[in-house]
Structure 1
Amino acid sequence: MPWIQNYITVGGSTVGSACVAAIPLIILFYMLAVRKAKGHIAALAGLVGALVVAVAVWKMPVGLAVSATLNGAAFGLFPIVWIVVTAVWVYNMTVESGEFEIIKDSLARLTDDRRLQALLIAFAFSCFIEGTAGFGTPVAIAAAMLVGLGFTPLWGAGVALIANTAPVAFGAIGVPIIVAASVSGLDQMAVSSIAGRQLSLLALIVPLWVCVA
């Protein structure tokens, strides 16, 4: 049975519909920031909220909602978690073997200038990690390296997040591009070329932004 989603359902208001659609995100943030719940518990709470909103407000058939949930879980498990787990394994291996300290010290010896350290680690090195792992891994690794060089945790995380804006579309071996092409029905190469043109401009702006920060 086909089902077509009506995006404006709460009193005919776009703003009201957006507020209702944000309920799962609000639940997720509340569980993480206020209740200090573990990640998987917060994610399950957000998932339940999304299912309730989809069925109760947008009148999505229960069977279709459950099928969409299982499809999303399967998609997240294989292309996404598979990449993240292997990336974390490689990172842990480099830490245990001492190679991570060698990489960090090598980058630190190049210059004492905090701006150049941020460019080398938060921008250049995290771009490499973004292409191989993605999904937050480069920010976590780059922030840890910056903190090890003397950056405060807040500044290290902030600079790493700013620097990671340029390469993120091609992260995890291009998964965001593949997903964008699949949901839009556009050709992957067309989406990739357009994103490449846009991000090349960002790649010029972000280093300046990092230095200013």
Structure 2
Amino acid sequence: MLESFRHIRLQEIADVKHLLSPEQLQAPISLTSPSTDVMTDFEKVDPVKVSQEVQVDEALEWMKNQHVRLLFATDKNDAFSGVITSRDIMGSRVMSYMQTHGIPREYVLVKHVMVAKEQLQALTFEQLQHSKIGDVMLTLKDSGEQHILVIDEGLAKVKRIRGIISASDVSRKLKIGFDIMYEAKSFAEIERVVTHGGGI
């Protein structure tokens, strides 16, 4: 069996200076680029999930380890039940739940402060395919949210979460400050910053 394989000669790399990253292969992104360019596509990467029964500070630690600000919460059957963000955990929601129920922080679980799927809205993947990054930025700004979920239907016509767009990813890819999207008085200001750089 081994005789069907061959030894491959290793190469010297003393003259190699660069590491390739996927972003180097992408064309420059602008407000008129397809909005799918800023979507994290769950056909290509796994969504970061957490059980809704996990304690909130453990969930926050998991976010930090995974370098995300949002987790998809799942029930005991591993079905999608909602989302929880770092803002939910570090903001007033946890304290409010503790005071209302008279319990210490260590007993506050993801399910107590997450946003249930019944309260969430999303764009469809089809909508995204017919929109530009500028459209998504305007939608994020108007909603005040930092994430937009994207849904589609599988071959069996089953609705599922297909991906997510985060404001931080959009600002990073456009090379503008994360807060500029929300501080700008008008979309024209955002457009000026993206085109010419600098602040507002």
TM-score bin, normalised by smaller chain: under 0.3
* TM-score normalised by L of structure 2: 0.26
Which structure carries more relative contact order (alpha carbon 8 Å, separation 6+)? 2
